[in-house]
Amino acid sequence: MFLAPYRILFCIIGCTFLMLTSHAHTSDFSNDLDGWEPLNPWLRSSVDGMSQGDFYMRMPVGINPGNKGSKLIAFNPTDAWTGDFIAKGVTGVSLNFANWSESDPVYLRIAISNLANPQQSGGTWWASSTPVYFAPESGWGSANFEINESSMQRVGNLTGELGLDTFDETLRNINGFRILSSTLGYGAIGDEFYGIVGMDNIQLISIPEPSFVSLLLAIFSVTFFYKRVR
């Protein structure tokens, strides 16, 4: 009985640490594409992976017949990558990215919106203010993006329309999540691209809401008080 409070205390500390350093979701493509689109020409491959036998998401952009002038865009409409990002505590995104194009550089950004598609009217799109640059034929590298108002800018939809929703209002109802290449970053559409690229280990990084942390601290305090009383 004497050890019970200590066990509870260690459990609380461990859970708090795990929650504060958690990833909301990770796509490592070990089994499937995990909801990432477009399904064609995206494909799951281990050719030129980061290690032997490592599967990733591979995309020949503008190379397939009839695909000339395609945009470098990947999007995920599933529940794991949409919803209330404030409630989920989402703070950023990290991923591994490869550029095998012989001619085109990549200016990688993320874009989020309360609409699913920039071809729709209304809603508001936000994109990374600063891209991560991948030179032609640079192969695998890494990219990290913060999801907050100081790191992102309001951008236009397909027609250039700028939404009026605040950043927090947008985060409360994310319906569109995109990874794209955009030199100037003025829209959620992306630039035309020619070459092969790859993505792997896409992580949606999160921390719990302050209310959840406060609850854990309250439990911690009660347990400590119980131990002192005994």
Say whether pLDDT at 218 is over 80. Answer: no
Q: Extract the tokens encoding 24.
A: 């909301």
Nearest to 197 by CA among 78, 52, 26, 62: 62
Q: Is the pLDDT of residue 73 over 70?
A: yes
107 C-beta neighbours (distance < 10 Å), count: 19
**What's the mean per-residue pLDDT of the chain?**
85
Q: Does residue 227 have a pLDDT over 80?
A: no
pTM of the model: 0.81
Q: Helix 210-229 crosses helix 4-20 at what angle (to 10 degrees)? A: 160
Lowest mean pLDDT among 55-64, 67-76, 77-86, 154-163: 67-76
Complete DSSP assignment for the chain: -TTHHHHHHHHHHHHHHHHHT-EEEEE--SSS-TT-B-TTT-EEE-TT-SSTT--EEEEEETTSTT-TT-B-EEE--SGGGSB-HHHHTEEEEEEEEEE--SS--EEEEEEEESSS-TTSSSS-EEEESSPEEE-TT-EEEEEEEE-STTTEEEEB-TT-PBP---HHHHHTTB-EEEEEE-SS--BSS--B--EEEEEEEEEEEE---HHHHHHHHHHHHHHHHHHHH-
Tell whether the model's pLDDT for residue 226 goes beyond 50: no
| pLDDT above 90: residue 213 | no
For the segment 157-180, what is each residue's pLDDT rounded down to a tens digit?
A: 988 899 999 999 999 999 999 999
Between 62 and 175, where is the model more confident?
Answer: 175
pLDDT grade for 62, boundaries at 50, 70 and 90: confident
The answer on pLDDT for 19 being more than 80 is: no
Model pLDDT for residues 3-14, shown as the tens digit of each residue: 455 455 445 444
CA distances from 169 to 46, 55, 80, 210 (A): 39, 36, 19, 18
